[in-house]
Amino acid sequence: MNEDWVLYEVFIRSRSGLEHKHVGSLHAADARMAIEHARDTYTRRQEGVSIWVVRSSDIVASDPAEAEELFEPARDKVYRHPTFYAIPEDVKNI
Amino acid sequence: MYTQALDSPGGAAAADAHERERLERFQERIDRDEKIEPKDWMPEAYRQTLIRQIAQHAHSEVVGMLPEGNWITRAPSLRRKVVLIAKVQDEGGHGMYLYSAAETLGVSRGELIEQLLSGRAKYSSIFNYPTLTWADIGAIGWLVDGAAIMNQIPLCRCSYGPYARAMVRICKEESFHQRQGYEIMLTLSRGSAAQRAMAQDALDRWWWPSLMMFGPSDAHSVHTAQSMRWKIKRFSNDELRQKFIDVTVPQAEFLGLAVPDPDLRWDESAQHYVPGPIDWSEFHAVLKGEGPCNRERLEARHAAHEAGRWVREAAAAFAEKHQEPLRAAQAG
């Protein structure tokens, strides 16, 4: 059984001025082929002006089991949002 | 599942309780309409159900290129030809999105391809029918892609994130497929007597197989109840089939073509079309490998896989030689 090519994650910038966004993954023998396959697979309808490919094995991700300790602490810090502060209607431009 | 846990000290009861609790928490997440992502814990049966369904879906897209590819060199005009090439290329792309989604569940691309080539994996029964005339290309786009859209739109809300995202992408592209098919049927049905007859013949042959695409009726569908509980499926086979019939019959009437079902009638009180009985023996025969083109389709996949072998090997050898990463592309 032949081995699969390396798995790459694909990120596309949909137009200049916007960030690259993850769109999916694909297999390729090398990075150049990954770009070419990404172009054929993910940009057949002008979805992008720039492509990033990253080996999936190079991505370090947070563990879903740790989601609570990572993200919960932000929940009770509502004072980080502008709507936390009551300003009289008469005050303008703030 | 998780039988290895039973060997641990503390025994089966503790492991069972722990397992039950995890299952309950998982179901609560589903009930809250949370999406499940690849690294989240999931029951093994949920994982296996998704692998089976997504892989079958991927195989269907890839095998689905064959009946239409059959007409690329014989398309009646350059416009029809570029459209058909684009459509067939889309189907290949859909297969790629779906294989990628399946791989997030821990199955390898190689295994999936191997399952297709060895005949162990199933793909949609519809692609085992031949494309005998140009009108079949119209009928496939209109009916087969139309049925596929009906099936796929609810899958955009599937509980498994990568599958749902792949489906959003696919559904966006699928609409062009159906419209180009209907346009072919419209042109033929407004054409000469011979063209109209060709369109009618295509509808006659594709109507029933299209209805069977939704799968066995609810009473005989083995997986439906659990898949609905897990929100992999949102509607039952019969509900989707009914929706398809209700939207498609008026489209056939507009073409001036007759749906090949003598029992079909409009039920005014229910506001639905009621079709005649479906011949499920045909469906099961095609699934078992006895359809008109089962053998031909698999042979074509084998031939493509073998013919591409030297390309894959050459690319791998080239990559081995030039390990230098592509810096230019990374600069983006």
Tens of pLDDT along B276-290?
Answer: 999 999 999 998 889
Distances (CA, A) of B25 to A68, B34, B97, B106, B310: 15, 12, 29, 22, 49
Inter-chain residue contact A44 with B89, CB threshold 8 Å: yes
- Count residue pairs from A and B with Cβ separation < 8 A: 70
Can you tell me the ipTM of this complex?
Answer: 0.86
- Closest chain A residue by Cα to residue B100: A25
In chain B, what residues touch A33 (CB-CB under 8 Å)? 315, 319
Write the DSSP string, B31-80. Answer: HTTPPB-TTS---HHHHHHHHHHHHHHHHHHHHTHHHHHTTGGG-SSHHH
pLDDT the model gives residue B132: 97
Q: Among the listed ranges B26-40, B97-111, B313-327, which one has the minimum average pLDDT value?
A: B313-327
* B positions 67-86 inside 8 Å of A (CB): 86
Distance linking the first and last C-alpha atoms of chain A: 66
For residue B137, which of B82, B199, B91 has the smallest C-alpha distance? B199
Nearest beta carbon to residue B93 from set A13, A20, A44: A44
Encode pLDDT of B234-258 as tens digits: 999 999 999 999 999 999 999 999 9
pLDDT the model gives residue A1: 40
Inter-chain residue contact B100 with A24, CB threshold 8 Å: yes
- Closest chain B residue by Cα to residue A33: B315
In chain A, what residues touch B322 (CB-CB under 8 Å)? 30
Inter-chain residue contact B103 with A50, CB threshold 8 Å: no
Mean pLDDT by 10 residues, chain A (94 residues): 83 96 95 96 94 96 90 87 94 92
pLDDT the model gives residue B222: 74
Residue B84 DSSP label: H
Give me A18's structure tokens: 């916007």
Residue B325 has pLDDT above 70, yes or no: no
In chain B, what residues touch A13 (CB-CB under 8 Å)? 332
pLDDT the model gives residue B11: 62
Q: Bridge-partner residues for B36, per DSSP?
A: B160
Nearest beta carbon to residue B329 from set A24, A31, A45: A31
For residue B67, which of B114, B22, B133 has the smallest C-alpha distance? B133
Query: How many CA atoms lie within 13 Å of B311's alpha carbon, on the beta-carbon side?
Result: 7
Residue B8 has pLDDT above 80, yes or no: no
Nearest beta carbon to residue B319 from set A30, A35, A40: A30
Contacts of B119 (CB under 8 A, 6+ apart): B289, B298
Inter-chain residue contact B100 with A35, CB threshold 8 Å: no
Within 10 angstroms of residue A13's Cβ, the number of other Cβ atoms is: 17
Residue-level length of chain B: 332
- Is CATH 3.30.590.10 the right assignment for the domain spanning A6-80? no
Backbone angles phi, psi at B75, to 5 degrees: -60, 145
pLDDT the model gives residue A5: 92
Inter-chain residue contact A52 with B319, CB threshold 8 Å: no
DSSP H stretches of helix in B118-190 = 135-139, 145-155, 161-189
Encode pLDDT of B140-193 as tens digits: 999 999 999 999 999 999 999 999 999 999 999 998 999 999 999 999 999 999
Residue B8 DSSP label: S
Residue B1 has pLDDT above 50, yes or no: no
